[in-house]
Amino acid sequence: MKRSFFGFTGLLMGMTLVPAHAKPAEHYQDLKYPPLNKIQPPKPERYVLGNGVAVYLVPDHELPLITVSALIRVGSRWEPLQKAGLADMVGTVMRTGGTTTRSGDKLDDELDRLGATVETSIGEDSGGAFVSVLKEDADLGMEILADMLQHPAFPQEKIELAKIAQRDAIARRNDMPGGIVFREFQRTLFGKDSPYAHQTEYATIDSIAREDLVAFHREYFQPENVILGVWGDFGPEMKGRIEKLFGAWPKGGHVKPPVPEVDPECQKRAGLYQIDKTDVNQSWVVMGHVGGRRDNPDYYALDLMDQVLGGGFASRLFSRVRSAQGLAYSVGSSWDAGWDRPGVFIASGHTKSETTTKIVTSITNEIGQLMESGVSEDELHRVKDATMKGFAFEFDATGKIVRRLMRYDYYAYPSDFLERYQENIGKVTREDIARVAKRYLKPEQFVIMVLGNKKDFDQPLSALGPVKDVDISIPKPVQRADP
């Protein structure tokens, strides 16, 4: 609804600036619009508690709500390989298991009574926790969040429930073809033992004990690793609340974990890989290689290059591979730049079995043409225009603004990174895109992962080159002997 409103308003603004005697535009592309108004987002106050907790505060009196969000330097990329699944389990049981003073079940009842929400989670490279509560219940809601972060109970029965959920996820991980092909692409590219591609197995879940959860929490959940963002209907008294609840949290003294490196052997894993799945009548294709980081000066040109290639309905992959050639149900690309480690460039498509090798060839041809001839002026204008107009939606919610600044802080990026991004996008030229396409796109390093029923392919995948088969079978759980 907001997009339609702003689009209509922008059209009216453009039309009202046209003099009454001016000749009306004959085509929508001839319409002239005024420059976008400069956005003036609220500026959070940032300060640091004595124990190292960084805090962002933004009062917002539109609704009688207060939200507190915590970003924690923790993640599955730091869990032991033989205990894969530990980080996720810690993030889950911190919430379900409650604290040393509130059981998980009691906590559920209390939150239901308040109409509040409290959640915790741990992803690959960060952990999160938040509470959203009515202003009148903010003290209790924030107390619960602080208690959960500092004093999780990790009861054994909740750990067992989390293990059941993880075992169920392992058993079902080969149900969705699209999920399989992207997962195996990552594992092939980065390496199966990589912090960025390892996966849980029955054996790794069975190896996790309560002491592991306690130790993992103690190592990473320390005030020096926490950034708090607070926004909502509050006044100067909020600083006192935060000091009372988080200021006495003792420093952990543990060294911040270094970012695990991406295996430099990635570029040597190029080739065709095949997952033969006999119960499907369609094929999924993912190809690509290791990408770059957001602090690369060429990131802006690469972002626009990717939008031209496969970033929407007007992109080359969509308009040519899908619409003109009829080879894809869905198709696109992504230059997924990492914050503190290299990301991944991916081009992907989904087609019927009988056009499997054709879509592989078609996508690689489009990438080759981009490398050879760059982009047109119209293409560059289109993606620049879309990107610039999209900035308005980066500021449509206070929470979005605060979380973005917390993320910049977390990864040690400048607080005005978004503004710099906007400025640098405007400077990108066709020559820039032609240069980065030639420099960064390396088809000879592509891992090309294909999932489908190979007996129905238009021709054997080997017609495109040597093929390696990928085993996606799930190791069975170890049968324990009865005592």
Q: What is the pLDDT along the chain (483 residues), one digit of tens a residue?
A: 333 333 333 333 344 444 555 567 777 667 776 766 666 667 899 999 999 999 999 999 999 999 999 999 999 999 999 999 999 999 999 999 999 999 999 999 999 999 999 999 999 999 999 999 999 999 999 999 999 999 999 999 999 999 999 999 999 999 999 999 999 999 999 999 999 999 999 999 999 999 999 999 999 999 999 999 999 999 999 999 999 999 999 999 998 899 999 998 888 899 999 999 999 999 999 999 999 999 999 999 999 999 999 998 999 999 999 999 999 999 999 999 999 999 999 999 999 999 999 999 999 999 999 999 999 999 999 999 999 888 888 888 899 999 999 999 999 999 999 999 999 999 999 999 999 999 999 999 999 999 999 999 999 999 999 999 999 999 998 776 544
* Among the listed residues 39, 465, 24, 115, the one whose alpha carbon sits nearest the alpha carbon of residue 274: 465
Reduced to 3 states (helix: H, G, I; strand: E, B; else coil), residue 20 is coil
- C-alpha gyration radius of the chain: 26
- Tell me how far apart the alpha carbons of residues 274 and 277 are, in angstroms, rounded to a whole number: 9
- Tell me how far apart the alpha carbons of residues 454 and 185 are, in angstroms, rounded to a whole number: 18
Q: What does pTM read for this prediction?
A: 0.88
Distance of CA 314 to the CA centre of its chain: 24
Element (H, E) at 130: strand 127-134
Domains of the chain: 48-246 (3.30.830.10), 265-469 (3.30.830.10)
Distances (CA, A) of 469 to 274, 283, 417: 5, 15, 43
Residue pair 129/119 in contact (Cβ under 8 Å)? The answer is: yes
